[in-house]
Amino acid sequence: MHAEQPTSDQQLRADIERLRAEFTDTQDLYREVCVLLFFRHGIAPTANKLYQLVRKGSMNAPAQALATFWEQLREKSRIRIEHPDLPDELKTAAGELTAVLWSKAQHLAQASLSSFQAEAQAAVVESKATTASAEARAAQVSSDLKVAQDDARQKTEQVAQLQQQLATANANSASLLAQLDGARHDQSLLKVELANARRDFASELAKLRDSVKLADDQFQAAERRALLEIDRERTAAKQLRKDLEQSQTLRNKNDQQHRKDIAALQLELAGARQQLGQLEGGLSESKTQNSVMAKQLVELRRELSVAASDAARARGESVMLKEQLTMVQTRRVPESNTKRIKRAKNPQA
């Protein structure tokens, strides 16, 4: 085994990076780093040193890899020492050297392991404290986050409501602006119409004043005519009273005559009612006779219908008899002609 040679930290890290790319398994990588340190760079590997160089896996990974490396190294050294081709002196020297190396390696490994375990325990304690603090901060952050989310949700809803209200307000504002423009336009039109109305009103007022004056004159003239008419009406009323008195006298006379005429008419009406009663009795008797005659007429019509049916049937039978008679006569004529022919041929017959 060569003496330990000084090496640069950059070369060591470059070799470790090469091994990191070649070996993906954590234990294999730590084992190869142990071989690199011990055999190539002459550095006794420790768990703390391995973890500082590799920084992979948990803190127990380099300690486990280091124990495996020393176990394999001890086994391989024992095989070489017990090889049958070696001289006894070399076997003894090799055994003593191996024992010294193994003792030193065990001592270094034990010291490294104790240091690594202390550091690991301190790191675990610190990690637990850090974890507890982180969990507390995480719980606080989660609570704050929940509150912030609720607040954000409320703010979002409020923003949505405000946006909706703003949109409604904008729409209302636009509508109001349009109405305001329309109102301004209507106001300008109304001003024009008001000016025209004032001008027309002034003209109409002048015409009305003229009309009132004319009407006043006409009223005064009509009043004078009315006074004259009243005087004439008074005179006519006096004449009408006289005529009314005469008419009343004449009406009284006519009423008396009407009463006499009504009494006479009442007598005539009583006689007419008596005659009407007699006529109604005769009419009832006539209705009874008419009912009897109607029944007789219905019976006669029925008999006439039966007679018509019999006549039709008789006519049918007569036609049939005529046809039969014609047929008989037709058959007899040839027979008589045959007899005449026979008598002509045989006169003695």
Choose the weakest-confidence range: 9-18, 88-97, 131-140, 142-151: 88-97
Q: How confident is residue 27, by pLDDT bands cut at 50, 70 and 90?
A: very high
Sequence-distant (≥ 6) Cβ neighbours of residue 48 within 8 angstroms: 62, 112, 115, 116, 119
Q: Which pLDDT tens digit goes with each residue over 52-78?
A: 999 988 889 999 999 999 988 887 765
Higher pLDDT among residues 309 and 148, named by residue: 309
Q: What is the mean pLDDT of residues 121-147?
A: 72
Q: Residue 27 burial (CB < 10 Å; 0-12/13-18/19+)?
A: middle
* Residue 96, pLDDT score: 62
The predicted model gives 17-38 an average pLDDT of 92
Summary mean pLDDT of the chain: 80
Q: Flag whether pLDDT at 131 surpasses 80.
A: no
Cβ atoms of residues 43 and 33 within 8 Å = no
pLDDT tens digit string along 3-16? 444 446 888 899 99
Distances (CA, A) of 277 to 265, 266, 267, 270, 285: 18, 16, 16, 11, 12
Contact 149, 96 (CB under 8 A): no
Distances in Å between the Cα of 222 and the Cα atoms of 213, 231, 251, 286, 321 are 14, 14, 39, 77, 113
Query: What is residue 38's three-state secondary structure?
Result: helix
pLDDT at 328: 81
Helices (H), the chain: 9-22, 26-35, 47-54, 60-81, 88-345
Please report the pLDDT score of residue 3 as a whole number: 42
Say what the pTM is. Answer: 0.28
Q: Which of 86-90, 141-145, 164-168, 244-248 has the lowest mean pLDDT?
A: 86-90
Whether 32 has a pLDDT exceeding 90, the answer reads yes
Residues 179-198, mean pLDDT to the nearest whole number: 85
Contact 68, 31 (CB under 8 A): yes
* pLDDT computed for residue 144 by the predictor: 78
* 148 pLDDT above the threshold of 60: yes
Counted residue by residue, the chain has a size of: 349
Q: Which long-range contacts (CB under 8 A, 24 or more apart) does 121-124 make?
A: 123/59
pLDDT at 161 over 80: yes
CA distance 88 to 7: 36
Residue 81 pLDDT grade (very low, low, confident, very high; cuts 50, 70, 90): low
Show Cβ contacts of residue 139 under 8 Å, excluding neighbours closer than 6 positions.
Answer: none
Q: How confident is the model at residue 2 (pLDDT cuts 50, 70, 90)?
A: very low
DSSP characters for 281-304?
Answer: HHHHHHHHHHHHHHHHHHHHHHHH
**Other CB atoms within 10 Å distance of the CB of residue 7:** 14
